[in-house]
Amino acid sequence: MDNVIIAKDLSLSYSNNETIINKATFSISSGSFVFITGASGSGKSTLLKSLFGALNPKQGSLVVGGVELNGVSRSKLNFLRRHLGIVFQDYKLVKEWSIEKNIMLPLLINGYVKSVALNQVEKLLKHVRLNHQTGKYPFELSGGEQQRVAMARALAHNPILILADEPTGNLDEYSSQLIWNLLEGANNQLKTTVIVVTHHIPKSLNVDYKHFHIEYGSIHEVR
């Protein structure tokens, strides 16, 4: 199996040069389901940011989907991101857009025909159990519902890799369960690689997962 992510001696830090991740080497094979855990402030979000190119590696090599991210050009990064589905703890929905338009964003960027995109959005809305909320704006929805919109957006364009940063961090039970089911489904049925940062690994998950733990700037494979 191919590796969708290969990190070699990867070091990460922000502009203040404090090392967050120190010379980490790991790889993630295509189609796997990966949990990343660690104490608050240990660098989970930082690692995830580096995976979608929002933070350039300080040192070492980081290849995602065949693209070397250390010193990557903007156009190559855009190309990679069009094949990623990212879910954030704070949803990052576009406020002034309806939920349909938000879900459609990756389809729009990937150049889908309008009618195909609309069809896809309708399916996704059913998928995340929001078909009764059509035409609404993010601020009219609960946190759990907003995260389901974000989840639908992340799945819309059949990404090769889903990156989720504490997607169920502060959600209601129903929404959390739904999000886990959707991530599980994408991994089981579409063989999408899923990487989730979380504090609690759900017990009822029906996937064979890997588990990395971050501590003192190092990444250990727990399972």
Partner 1 sequence: MKSVKNHLSLVVALLSILFSMQVFFIVERSIDAYKVNLSNNYSVIAVSKKELSSDEFKGINKIISNAEELSPDSVIKRLTSDMKSTNVELLKLTLPKFYKLSLTYYPTPQEIKKLRSDLLGSGSITKVEDFSHNHDTVYKLLLLFKKVVALFAIVVLIVTVLLIFKELRIWQYKHNERMTIMGLFGAALWLRSAVLFRLAIVDALVASFLAFGVFMYLSSSAWVAEQFNNIGINVLIFNPIEDFLIILGVAITISILLASLIVLGHKEEA
Ligand X SMILES: Nc1ncnc2c1ncn2[C@@H]1O[C@H](COP(=O)(O)OP(=O)(O)O)[C@@H](O)[C@H]1O
Please report, as residue ranges, which positions from 4 to 23 form the binding site for ligand X (by CB under 6 A): 14, 16, 20
- Told to check if 53 binds ligand X by CB under 6 A, we report no
- Told to check if 218 binds ligand X by CB under 6 A, we report no
Between 45 and 146, whose beta carbon lies closer to ligand X?
45
- The DSSP call for residue 199 is S
- Told to check if 42 binds Mg ion by CB under 5 A, we report no
Q: How far is the CB of 44 from Mg ion (least distance, A)?
A: 5
The Cα–Cα gap between 74 and 90 comes to: 25
Report the residue from 46, 61, 98, 198 that binds ligand X according to the rule CB under 6 A.
46
Report the residue from 22, 37, 45, 146 that binds ligand X according to the rule CB under 6 A.
45
- Told to check if 45 binds Mg ion by CB under 5 A, we report yes
Q: How far is the CB of 166 from ligand X (least distance, A)?
A: 8
83 closest CA partner among 58, 53, 113, 60: 53
Please report, as residue ranges, which positions from 6 to 35 form the binding site for partner 1 (by CB under 8 A): 14
- The DSSP call for residue 159 is -
Between 99 and 164, whose beta carbon lies closer to ligand X?
164
Please report, as residue ranges, which positions from 162 to 221 form the binding site for partner 1 (by CB under 8 A): none
Please say whether the beta carbons of 83 and 67 come within 8 A: no
**Contacts of residue 113, Cβ cutoff 8 Å, sequence gap at least 6:** none
**Contacts of residue 36, Cβ cutoff 8 Å, sequence gap at least 6:** 44, 47, 48, 195, 196, 197, 198, 211, 212, 213, 214
42 binds, among Mg ion, ligand X, partner 1, none (CB under 5 to 8 A by kind): ligand X
The Cα–Cα gap between 77 and 80 comes to: 5
The HSE-up count of residue 183 (CA atoms within 13 Å, CB side) is 38
Q: How far is the CB of 192 from partner 1 (least distance, A)?
A: 16
- Site residues (vs partner 1, CB under 8 A): 14, 49, 52, 54-55, 74-75, 77-84, 86, 92-97, 105-106, 108-109, 153
